[in-house]
Amino acid sequence: MPTERTPVIIDIKGLQVLVDVLIEQGNEVFGPQVIDDVIAIRPLTSVDQLPAGWTDDQGAGRYRLHNDHSHGRFGYAVGPQAWKPLLHEPTLHTLSMTQSHAADPVEVHVTATRKGRRAFLGVRPCELEAIVRLDTVLLRGPNVDRAYRSARSDLMLIVVNCTVPASTCFCTAMNTGPRVSENVTIHDLEITELVNEHDGGPRYVVTPASRQGAEILDVLGSRTSTVAMTNQDALDIEAGFRRAESSIERHVDTKELHDVMIASSENALWAELADRCLACGNCTAVCPTCFCTSVNEITDLSGTTTERWRHWDSCFSLEFSRVGNAPVRSSVASRYRHWLTHKLGTWHDQFDESGCVGCGRCITWCPVGIDLTAEIPALRTAALSGGDSRPASGDQ
């Protein structure tokens, strides 16, 4: 029987039992799957739905999946979606208001928040850190987001450590991966996939990280064969993490990065970036920590009912900064500057942490391949020299 923080090892059949147990306990389970040629998060009932053998080739403005026919189910880095849409919905009906006659009171019906237990299987360490950041903004601040609060309640978070980072990842620079940090405590189970092509199928080292996680492992132990981790397994895991860390190509020097960003407000680089940036907002849509929304109210033709909708917005949109008759940030340069300065600078002032977890999605899904890891050295150089010189940069 597992005890707190004691890992056990299961095989792929045991992983199916884990999914079965989660479902039997009333959870809707979500996990990674290949959908439309990307790794996406969808409801999951069988381990056969996991992306067996699939791995991702990512670069600036580039994403391709290919199947190397390995036995692994988690041999990719991250897909475009993250878990954000399940916690902070892209489009949300928040309330309706009805007034049949001018003399009548306005009836306000607030939309019910979601209910029901869920389990997210396959959360990457950087994605878990992103959920910590969303929690900080939407749960722990003075204005709790009721929709987010309901999405975060009755939720089991099952982390699968990353052993095959993409070339766009820089989690090691942001201290968010490739294995889950001991400082993060919001998850329930931590899993590491062990793939040895000579030994047959994959094995999963499962470590409880919460009381609920330990209880799930107790049930799992009574339903399938689990084995204790050996010294060799521990050595294999450490070697796998060292390989993963050493394969990470991109890096960001975070030393005094907040000050560098604040000192960069007049840098000529912003105008240069604006020549390339399409202001499409892809980077904010895929970013697991971007949380901004706008609210629209739509009144029907009779004028008796108004529906209020909330939808994701982006600081790259011209309308997002409209105050009165004009946007505050009318140029693309000012909008890019705002986004990156908030991520890496003023987020620290607001929330005492970085707004970037180094997942690399904004690099992969930028249609023109803008790469923040290539731009930061230029900002740093200019901030230190007082000029706007920038070194050569490019996809690595």
Residues that bind ligand SF4 (CB under 6 A): 277-283, 286-289, 316, 343, 356-362, 366-368, 370
Produce one character per residue of 183-197: b if its CB has 16 or more CB atoms within 10 Å, e if not: ebebbbbbbbbbbee
Query: What tokens does 8 get?
Result: 């056990």
Closest distance of CB 314 from ligand SF4, Å? 7
Structure tokens at 360: 């690399």
Q: Which is nearer to ligand SF4, 59 or 208 (CB)?
A: 59
* CB of 349 vs ligand SF4, minimal distance in Å: 17
In angstroms, what is the minimal distance from the CB of 148 to ligand SF4?
A: 18
Q: Which is nearer to ligand SF4, 298 or 328 (CB)?
A: 328
What is the closest distance, in whole angstroms, from the C-beta atom of residue 261 to ligand SF4 in the complex? 13
C-beta closer to ligand SF4: residue 282 or 341:
282
Query: 């990156």: which residue's tokens?
Result: 340
> Residue 274 and residue 251: Cα distance in Å, rounded?
23
Question: Minimum distance from CB of 18 to ligand SF4 (Å)?
Answer: 28
- Please, which residue, 22 or 138, has the CB nearer to ligand SF4? 138
Where do runs of H (alpha helix) occur along the chain? 12-24, 84-87, 125-138, 146-152, 171-174, 211-223, 231-246, 257-263, 269-276, 282-286, 332-341, 347-351, 361-364, 372-385
Shortest Cβ 19–ligand SF4 spacing (Å): 28
Nearest to 358 by CA among 189, 178, 112: 178
Please, which residue, 74 or 316, has the CB nearer to ligand SF4?
Answer: 316
**Nearer to ligand SF4 by C-beta: 17 or 359?**
359
Closest CA to 254 of 165, 159, 181, 357: 357
Q: Choose between 206 and 277: whose C-beta lies nearer to ligand SF4.
A: 277
CA 25/CA 22 separation, integer angstroms: 5
Residue 367 beta carbon to ligand SF4: minimum distance, rounded to whole angstroms: 6
- Least distance from ligand SF4 to the Cβ atom of residue 125, Å: 13
Which of 227, 255, 196, 283 lies closest to 376 in space, CA to CA? 255
Q: List the Cα angle 6/48/239 in 5-degree steps.
A: 40
Calpha distance 144→134 (Å, rounded): 11
Q: Which is nearer to ligand SF4, 126 or 383 (CB)?
A: 126
| Nearer CB in complex with ligand SF4: 150/294 | 294
Q: Tell how many helices (H) and how many strands (E) occur in the chain.
A: 14, 16
Shortest separation between residue 44's beta carbon and ligand SF4, angstroms: 24
For ligand SF4, the closer CB: 122 or 288:
288
What is the side-by-side order of every strand in the sheet holding 91-98? 107-110, 91-98, 305-312, 293-299
> How many residues make up the chain in this entry?
396
Q: Is the peptide bond before 165 cis (omega within 30 degrees of 0)?
A: no
List the one residue out of 272, 275, 264, 274 whose CA is nearest residue 343.
264
Measured over the CA atoms of residue 41, residue 45, residue 46 and residue 49, the dihedral's sign is negative
Minimum CB separation of residue 277 from ligand SF4 in Å reads 3
Q: Any bridge partners for residue 55, and if so which?
A: 66
